[in-house]
Amino acid sequence: MKTFKIILGVIIIIIVIGFSEQIGKKFGKSVAINNYEGEKESELHEMLLKKSKELNSQLPMMIDEETRADITIVQGATMYYKYTMINVDADKINSAKFENEIKSNLIKNICSTEDTVTTLKAGVQYSFIYHDKNGNPIAIITIPYDKCHSDDG
C-alpha cells in the first residue's frame, strides 16, 4: 500500500508539473504578445505625437472658406483633428446630414492615401471633431481601418 501511495504521489506531481508547464507557456506567450503589442502601441503613439506637433505648429489654418483647422490632439492610438465651421450655427443646420456628407468625404480621402491606410492598418484611428462658430459641437467622426473596406462608408 505504501508503494502505491508513493507511485500515486509521483504521478500526481508529474501531472501537476506538466499542467503548470503548459500554463507557464501560455502565460509567457501572452506576456510576450502583450509586451510586443504594448511596444507597438507606444511606437504608434510617439509617431502620432510627432505628427501632431508638426501639424499644430501650422495651426490654426483655414482649410477652405468655411473650415478652420484648430488643433490636433493625440490620445493613445487616436489622432483627433478639431475643426471650426466659422460661418455655421449648430442650431441652424441638420447635424446628421452634415455628418454624413463630411464622413463620406473623409473616408474617401483617408482611404485613398497609402500612408493613412498603412497607419489605420497598424491600429491608428482618425477622429474629426467639428464645432460651430460659437464652439458648440456639430459632429465627431471616427475613421477606423475597417471603414476603408466596407461598402456602408
Question: What does the pLDDT look like over 105-135, one tens digit per residue?
Answer: 899 888 988 888 888 888 899 999 999 999 9
Q: Which of 8-22, 77-91, 97-111, 138-152 has the highest mean pLDDT?
A: 77-91
Distances (CA, A) of 21 to 7, 35, 129: 21, 21, 50
**pLDDT for 1 beyond 70:** no
The boundaries of the domain holding residue 31 are 1-153
Across 66-151, the runs of DSSP E, i.e. the strands, are 67-75, 78-85, 125-131, 137-143
Distances (CA, A) of 123 to 37, 110, 130: 10, 14, 23
Q: Number of folded domains in the chain?
A: 1
Question: What does the pLDDT look like over 48-98, one tens digit per residue?
Answer: 999 999 999 999 999 999 999 999 999 988 999 999 999 999 999 999 999
Query: Which has the higher per-residue pLDDT, 20 or 104?
Result: 104
